[in-house]
């Protein structure tokens, strides 16, 4: 196997990106152990020699795909928060919208979510990349919360909890296949998040009495 090279020409860069796109989605749809570099080359319309010019093996393609597409797993947070909103005043409705968008996002990225969840417990490099993405998303959301006038004690840690917990809630709702479960759990999660950020009626009353 020759030395992997980094493409410099536009056509070569596009070819590499095409291989990443095809390979990553094949791995997520079929399962990592059911896809070979030959399969990826055939689907991408290139020779296996071209694959090995840009990647060591299919694992290299998987990691490149995670770097490129892991933003999709958290895009719903930013889609909701991109609008100028005073979170201090609209916290309930914003979190409710995040939950709704998160469930829809999980449905559309189901294959990616399930395969990466499976792989991260067996592959330290996959786990590392996903943990780094979590940290990156936490930092960006914490900054957005502050820009939207939301600032509470230990806010970064609480935002990190949301980044970890809300996708798990969305997964459970989608996999349960029950609209009743989804609505019941949404109410429970909303209540919990409001308390976490001190925005439930009980917390507000305690603040007023203090």
33: containing domain: 10-68
- Residue 5 in domain: no
CATH number, domain with residue 27: 1.10.10.60
Q: What is the pLDDT of residue 80?
A: 93
One domain for residues 115 and 143: yes
One domain for residues 62 and 15: yes
One domain for residues 119 and 176: yes
Residue 205's pLDDT band (cuts 50, 70, 90):
low
Q: CB within 8 A of 84, min separation 6: which ones? A: 148
One domain for residues 117 and 169: yes
Residue 30's pLDDT band (cuts 50, 70, 90):
very high
Cα–Cα distance, 157 to 159 (Å, whole number): 5
Tokens 């860069």 belong to which residue?
13
One domain for residues 99 and 177: yes
Q: What is the pLDDT of residue 201?
A: 61
- Residue 4 in domain: no
**Helical ranges in the chain per DSSP H:** 10-30, 37-44, 48-54, 58-69, 75-81, 87-108, 110-120, 124-147, 155-176, 179-196, 201-209
Domain final residue, candidates 51, 68, 85: 68
Cα–Cα distance, 106 to 114 (Å, whole number): 10
- Residue 110 in domain: yes
Torsion-angle region of 192 (φ positive above 0: left; ψ -120 to 50: alpha; else: beta):
alpha
Cα–Cα distance, 95 to 101 (Å, whole number): 10
Residue 97's pLDDT band (cuts 50, 70, 90):
very high
One domain for residues 45 and 115: no
Q: What is the pLDDT of residue 202?
A: 58
- Residue 2 in domain: no
For the chain, give the percent of residues with pLDDT over 90.
Answer: 71
Number of independent structural domains in the chain? 2
- Residue 94 in domain: yes
pLDDT digits (tens, 9 = 90+) for 45-69: 999 999 999 999 999 999 999 999 9
pLDDT digits (tens, 9 = 90+) for 169-204: 999 999 988 888 889 999 999 989 988 888 656 566
One domain for residues 117 and 170: yes
Residue 2's pLDDT band (cuts 50, 70, 90):
low
One domain for residues 37 and 115: no
Q: What is the pLDDT of residue 89?
A: 85
- Residue 185 in domain: yes
One domain for residues 171 and 114: yes
One domain for residues 122 and 105: yes
181 against 76, higher pLDDT: 76
pLDDT digits (tens, 9 = 90+) for 113-164: 999 999 999 999 999 999 999 999 999 999 999 998 888 889 999 999 999 9
One domain for residues 81 and 158: yes
- Residue 130 in domain: yes
Q: What is the pLDDT of residue 151?
A: 86
- Residue 107 in domain: yes
One domain for residues 81 and 180: yes
């Amino acid at each position: 196997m020759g030395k992997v090279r980094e493409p410099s020409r536009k056509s070569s860069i596009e070819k590499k990106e095409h291989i990443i796109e095809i390979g990553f989605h094949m791995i997520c749809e079929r399962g990592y152990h059911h896809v070979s570099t030959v399969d990826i080359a055939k689907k991408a319309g290139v020779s296996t020699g071209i694959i090995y010019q840009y990647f060591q093996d299919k694992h290299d393609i998987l990691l490149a795909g995670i770097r490129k597409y892991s933003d999709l797993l958290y895009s719903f947070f930013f889609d909701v928060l991109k609008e100028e909103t005073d979170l201090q005043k609209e916290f309930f409705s914003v979190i409710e919208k995040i939950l709704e968008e998160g469930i829809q996002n999980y449905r559309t990225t189901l294959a990616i979510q399930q395969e990466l969840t499976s792989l991260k417990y067996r592959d330290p490099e996959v786990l590392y990349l996903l943990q780094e993405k979590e940290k990156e998303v936490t930092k960006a959301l914490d900054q957005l919360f502050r820009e939207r006038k939301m600032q509470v004690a230990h806010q970064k840690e609480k935002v990190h909890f949301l980044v970890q917990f809300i996708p798990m809630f969305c997964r459970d709702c989608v996999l349960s296949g029950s609209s009743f479960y989804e609505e019941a759990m949404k109410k429970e999660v909303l209540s919990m998040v409001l308390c976490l950020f001190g925005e439930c009626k009980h917390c507000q009353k305690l603040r007023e009495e203090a």
